[in-house]
Structure 1
């Protein structure tokens, strides 16, 4: 007798479980019948809309299928997605198919302004975003470098960091100018530069890396992508007329790639502007820069150079 009661009780539990399991399928589509994928379908008891029973996403054909195990009389199905207006319908709590028509909508995103940092560090490299320091009056890289904290540039174009002259001046990782980088700082268009990098512990001699600390920093110019591999020529000409006509002309040609670089300049004037400073070598390794011969020059007079210095050529 007891065995019969237990068997009947278990049969009743199985029957109730089978009745409580509901499989609901359907399709999400627009008014013209187009399916909508990646729509979220969430099922709630109609009498308790905050109690989530199950959820699913529509596939590429807009179809969905959910399984509910609950004894409520009806279910609330909510459909939501980025491309549609939210909608909800009430369906009986029994297996069946229910298509849902939705309305397409366009979501207008709020305007977002992304600003890059003016200065940021990566390990022992300090990066300066050139666009944050650049102004319309800047004519050369030196003009922008002078605005960057920790960096100073002399009239001759020598760059110092934290009060110490830099050791190397790289363009895209290549030391094109060696110690004569004043030609680069005084002539390269700053609009072509994306980032100025200060390499604080850079050791250019591979055999000494990790063995001897480097006290002098180095600088590397990172170019904008549209400038790499492009030949660029900038020329200016100025002149006057009269008994003693004045003229001031210049031209600079550049071509920069990671492993192939070219920089050529021409400058001439008879206005007294000193052009020799750009040819100075700032290299501390005098074994590479010693002159074969030298000439002792008389001391300069105690007046401004522009009153006695003339770059004149004679035929």
Structure 2
């Protein structure tokens, strides 16, 4: 869900900005800022690299992934996913986007750093040094985004703060179907939504549903980009995406995936999409031309990306259909 978090925040922020009458470029920029902040909470998986240090080559690739995710559970979805921390950190990140060298600007940035340092201290007192280290990474990431926005855009500090709040607050909800729920109100108790939302009793259908939610978030972001740049989604999808339908046979050939063991499904279906997007056969549609010249590189890249995404979507639908209507009978 890493990508979905950022793209959902981007899409909603850009749509709202467009609805509010913003010019298209600033709308896309504020969406990108919200998406960047939405990705920050998952910086806590950096600790999972510790798990790889314990991995033995003899354990194989699956052993490496298991060691990685087992280590991540120590602090994943705790302080960095807290709505409380998000509500405090977002205004501080906004203050860090204040420009200028005046005493007032320096005081605003100093105050913001003090607030963020206090969050680190709270994390240390509430849950120990490991959580504090993770919050340091969270804070450092937010500082980099805020200062980058201040240098490269004209967004106001208040806009940055709102984008940060939306990004940080939108992130935890995507975790409700893929793993243990976040620690919503860290450092306080979180008595609500304490268990995973089950989309279907069948663990494979639950995984397929979670994967579909991720795809939906990506498609929403794509639709927003195409809307704000006057592009057509259908015109950018090559017919070779239909090859993804062959992936339905995988439901008969490999073990059904679940959240616990999903690597073979995720990597293979993404591989199908990548091949459909990148490989151009002799019978594929030619690259469209404009005024006798090939379309710019960005258009070609968009075609590859959208064709790959369409192929993954077709593959998912085919796999689900075979799993539901054919595999049980076999």
Identify the TM-score tier after normalising by the shorter chain. under 0.3
Structure 2 length-normalised TM:
0.21
Q: Which has the higher contact order (CA 8 A, sep 6+)?
A: 2
Of Structure 1 and Structure 2, the greater strand share is in: 1
Structure 1 length-normalised TM:
0.22
